[in-house]
Chain A
Amino acid sequence: MIAHALTWRRERRVLPGFGLSLGISLTFVSLILLLPLTSLVGQLSQLSWSQYWFLITDPRLLASYGVTLFGAAVAAIFNAAFGLLMAWVLVRYEFPGKRLVDALMDLPFALPTAVAGITLATLYSSNGWIGRLLEPLGISISYTWIGIALAMAFTSIPFVVRTVQPVLEDLPAEVDEAAMTLGASDSLAFRRVILPYLWPALVTGTGLAFVRSLGEFGAVIFIAGGKPYETEITSLMIFVKLQEYDYAGASAVASIVLATSLALLLAINLWQGRFIKRLHGGRG
């Protein structure tokens, strides 16, 4: 038995460097990721349940959950539509400037969020390039939920485009042809044939955009203005509590934010895993 285990071990670890790479990886993960995260648990363990409950159900905080969730939901829905359109146009059509448009899709990931934040705040303020045009129509974007959703949408643009694009590229041309020769109209064929095929990628991308929007800070705070109960997002609440040296309060809110995003990310991964299994006929 032991001999068997030893030979198995030798067979599987032909390549060198197991000990070294395990050591480096575990040291790094422990020091950089786990140790700081346990300090959050440590801070929270000093609170009783009723204190914790009191901290996380503060009315101003409850309002910020609503603002954040609503903004992120609007941003995710916008990105689902915009991302699908962009992926479709970039995969299916040829037009001048296509490579430039394709490269621009990644701008929100490459541009620092604070830069995006002040730029959007300036563009949409009442004397900015776009805000000036909207003001006579009675639409204000700065310091409203629209501004928050807009900033969240900007920073999460790449998610849907970049998850849908490769799937659409792999879609065989025969699928289109079959649908069209059967006499389906464009929109019917798209809804019945293309959309079900893209659905998993679309949901994954939209989910990732939503998670990213929930945690967004730098891009949102400038355009949101941070009016309590109205345009204050949850990550700003953590920041405000820290500036008041309220570490217990900040940690309690952080635990809610952290748990929510981890749960959502896990759900997206599981959902995606199940779908990949189905694609490969049950083999994970």
Chain B
Amino acid sequence: MIRIGDAPRVRRLLIGAALVLTALFLLLPLVAIFAQALMSGIDVYWQNLSDDYTLAAIGLTLLVAVITVPVNLVFGVFLAWLVTRFDFPGRRLLQTLIDIPFAVSPVVAGLVYLLLYGRNGWLGGWLDAHDIQIMFAWPGIVLVTLFVTCPFVARELIPLMQAQGSREEEAAVTLGASGWTIFRRVTLPNIRHALLYGVILTNARAVGEFGAVSVVAGAIRGETNTLPLQVEQLYQDYNTVGAFTSASLLALLALLTLAAKAALEWRAARRETAT
């Protein structure tokens, strides 16, 4: 069979161009992160990692992820169940609303939270009177992260659950299964790869969010600095090695994310060829 672009000359040219551009635009930055972090040797790298502020930033980042990921997981599953298993007025609108965080600049996301919970905001006076601090503290960081990451799980589940339809679940109903049993025994096994992928994406974004968090965090060292904010602050202080040390942790997590995604896709492809 003859196909377009199959001539060896064309093939070599296109593959060559693709490899050179990928190396230049994607591989080189990745290598540079680790090279800069290790520039002054491994001892300095460990020293930078065990810096108190860096450790505090790692802790806060983990806290944000530990809260955000489960909340958005639960929300994403319920939303996907709602819009794929029932027909009701406003269903399309709800699906469109969920896309808003994808379209909004992260700085705008931070701003709207500041307007709501900040000192001069709608709820600011009440919060102040009750001595509850949301802005420039960890609850604010968690809230904007929830905003920014809420579409990921739902967006992975909705197309899949729509394609699978609800016949299996309906059969389970006629057999007298309860809602929880249906979800656990029928739905979950069908969606678990997409769910896992949604969780991985949510986690990657929750850990790495910068723009929205930098608006509401106030950059108090050791208190409201997440890892990306720590990266920025060290870089602005001309502590390049320190900044890239923290950045290398985030880059490592990005690599793990890519590996997990590749593994999930590989397993899905293998299952497809098996059936």
Contact with A along B136-175 (1 / 0, CB 8 A): 0000000100110010000000000000001001100100
Residue from A29, A34, A97, A214 having most chain B Cβ neighbours under 10 A: A29
Within the complex, what minimum Cβ distance (angstroms) separates B148 from chain A? 10
Which residue of B has the minimal Cβ distance to A184? Answer: B4
Judge whether B18 and A101 touch: CB under 8 Å: yes
A247 within 8 A of B: yes
Residues of B close to A251: CB separation below 8 A: 111, 115
Bound together, the chains give a CA A42 to CA B108 distance in angstroms of 15
Q: Is B220 an interface residue (CB 8 A)?
A: no
Within the assembled complex, what's the spacing in Å between the Cα atoms of A242 and B96?
29
Contact code string A30-51 (vs B, CB < 8 Å = 1, else 0):
0011111101101100000000
Cβ A112 vs Cβ B19 within 8 A: no
Taking a contact as CB atoms closer than 8 A, the residue among B82, B103, B251, B261 that contacts A22 in the complex is B82
Determine chain A's interface SS by DSSP, over half rule: helix
The size of the chain A interface, using a CB distance under 8 A, is 95
Quick check: A114 and B210 within 8 Å, CB to CB?
yes
The answer, yes or no, to whether A227 is at the interface (CB within 8 Å) is no
Contacts of B96 on A, CB cut-off 8 Å?
269
CB of B36, distance to nearest CB on chain A (Å) = 6
Query: Given contacts A86-B22, A111-B254, A242-B114, are A186 and B10 in contact (CB under 8 A)?
Result: yes
Please state if B115 and A112 are interface contacts (CB–CB under 8 Å).
no
Given contacts A15-B173, A36-B116, A239-B215, contact A42 B2 (CB under 8 A): no
Question: Is A235 an interface residue when CB atoms closer than 8 A count as contact?
Answer: yes
Q: Give Cα A173 to B4, complex, Å.
A: 10
> In the complex, how many angstroms separate the beta carbon of A17 from the nearest chain B beta carbon?
5
Given A85-B14, A217-B106, A106 contacting B29 (CB threshold 8 A): no
Smallest CB gap from B244: residue in A = A118
When chains A and B are docked, how far (Å) is the Cα of A102 from the Cα of B170?
A: 39
Q: Which residues in window 83-98 of A have CB below 8 A to B?
A: 85-86, 88-90, 92-93, 95, 97
Contacts of A189 on B, CB cut-off 8 Å? 4
Q: Among B25, B107, B122, B227, which residue has its beta carbon within 8 angstroms of that of A238? A: B107
* B234: nearest chain-A partner, CB-CB: A118
Task: Tell me the complex Cα distance, A264–B114, Å.
Answer: 25
CA distance A21 to B27 in the complex (A): 43
Bound: A177/B5 CA distance, A: 11
Does A62 belong to the interface (CB within 8 Å)? no
B67 at interface (Cβ–Cβ under 8 A)?
no
**A88 B5 Cβ-Cβ under 8 A:** yes
A176 at the interface (CB under 8 A from B): yes
B107-120 interface mask toward A, CB cutoff 8 Å, 1 = contact, 0 = none? 11101111110101
Interface residue? A276 (CB, 8 A): no
- Choice from B1, B109, B169 contacting A15 with Cβ under 8 Å: B169
A25/B75 contact (C-beta < 8 A), A106-B258, A251-B111 known: yes
Query: B158 → chain A, closest Cβ, in Å?
Result: 12
B residues in contact with A99, CB < 8 Å: 262
Task: State the CA gap A94–B14 with chains docked (Å).
Answer: 12
Residues of A within 8 A of B207 (CB): 112
Chain A CB within 8 A of B104 CB = yes
B2 near A177: Cβ-Cβ < 8 Å: yes
Contact with B along A147-158 (1 / 0, CB 8 A): 000000110010
List chain B residues, Cβ under 8 A from A254: 107-108, 111-112
**17 A–B contacts, CB within 8 A, in A order:** A28-B79, A33-B98, A36-B113, A36-B115, A42-B122, A88-B14, A90-B18, A101-B19, A102-B262, A112-B208, A118-B247, A179-B4, A186-B7, A218-B211, A235-B106, A238-B107, A247-B114
Which A positions have Cβ atoms within 8 angstroms of B? 12-18, 20-22, 24-25, 28-29, 32-37, 39-40, 42-43, 82, 85-86, 88-90, 92-93, 95, 97, 99, 101-116, 118-120, 122-123, 129-130, 153-154, 157, 173, 176-177, 179-181, 186, 189-190, 193-194, 211, 214-218, 222, 235-236, 238-239, 242, 247, 250-251, 254, 257-258, 261-262, 264-265, 269
Q: What would 15 more interface pairs be, CB under 8 Å, given A107-B30, A111-B254, A239-B107?
A: A16-B182, A24-B75, A28-B150, A88-B14, A93-B15, A95-B19, A104-B30, A110-B255, A115-B33, A118-B231, A120-B29, A122-B244, A123-B29, A154-B29, A217-B106
